[in-house]
Amino acid sequence: MNPLLSARGVGFGYGDRDILRGGAPWFAPGLALDYMAKHAIDFWLTTEDIPHPDNRVTVDRQGGIKLAKTYYNTESHKRLLGKLKQLLGPMGCHETAIPRWSVLGQQIPIAGIAHNCGTVRFGTDPRASALDVNCKAHDLDNLYVVDTSFFPSSSAVNPALTAMANAMRVGDHLLDRLGVSTPQVAGAQA
């Protein structure tokens, strides 16, 4: 079993020496890492990072970007990782030269985070949010934000399709707001 069981993401793949090198001791020989890579299955687990007001991106007076991040959903992640470990035996991952106890849970560091979401709050109260429920800035009449910063979180999956659906929703809102009618496509339901 791979001693570097990743603790973020979905699915499984196959590692190689370079991937294993990242979590191995500095003195681990390349041949040993090659052997481990040939006899390992990499699992990549994802759990949702629950939104929290203390996790935020701010800009200081000098224009520097500051990121404050604390993981708040660690219990469900630990349970998911524990479940995977319970399934290793039934999946045929038996103890051999690389014992099952060597499986480690690791998180991607903050620099490796992708699909950032939730950097702009939305709501009906301008004192507590920057955007309204239609993604329009409370303070500017002609500014709409339709990327994933509007999302509270990404539900542990790639948010691209949801971002596209939201952009279409906001586009429909803009058409209504501007009084623009669009021609009906034959066969389309209103």
Task: Note down pLDDT in tens along the chain; length 190 residues.
Answer: 333 333 333 344 556 777 777 777 788 888 888 887 777 777 777 777 777 888 878 899 999 988 888 877 788 888 888 888 888 778 777 654 454 445 555 666 666 677 778 888 899 999 999 999 999 999 999 999 999 988 887 776 788 999 999 999 999 999 999 999 887 766 666 5
Predicted local confidence at residue 28, as pLDDT: 82
Residue 2 lies in a domain: no
* CA–CA distance, 35 with 33 (Å, rounded to integer): 5
Predicted local confidence at residue 102, as pLDDT: 52
Domain boundary among 52, 84, 110: 110
Predicted local confidence at residue 53, as pLDDT: 80
Maximum C-alpha span of the chain: 70
Predicted local confidence at residue 72, as pLDDT: 78
Q: Which domain holds residue 82?
A: 12-110
Same-domain status, 24 and 96:
yes
Residue 1 lies in a domain: no
Same-domain status, 48 and 130:
no
The structural domain count of the chain equals 2
Same-domain status, 89 and 142:
no
* Ramachandran bin of 9, using left for φ above 0, alpha for ψ from -120 to 50, beta for the remaining angles: left
User: What dihedral do alpha carbons 151, 154, 159, 161 form, nearest 10°?
Assistant: -70
Same-domain status, 19 and 99:
yes
Answer whether 0.85 is exceeded by the pTM: no
Question: What φ, ψ does residue 57 adopt, rounded to 5°?
Answer: -110, 130
Same-domain status, 91 and 119:
no
Domain boundary among 68, 90, 110: 110
Same-domain status, 73 and 144:
no
Query: What are the structure tokens assigned to 16, written together?
Result: 């190689």
Closest alpha carbon to 120 in 82, 148, 86, 154 = 148
Same-domain status, 147 and 59:
no
Predicted local confidence at residue 11, as pLDDT: 42
Same-domain status, 44 and 77:
yes
Determine contact, residues 36/52, Cβ cutoff 8 Å: no
Domain boundary among 85, 110, 135: 110
| Long-range CB contacts (within 8 A, 24+) of 76-79 | 76/47, 76/48, 77/7, 77/45, 77/47, 77/105, 78/105
> Judging by beta carbons within 10 Å of its beta carbon (0-12, 13-18, 19+), is residue 138 exposed, middle or buried?
middle
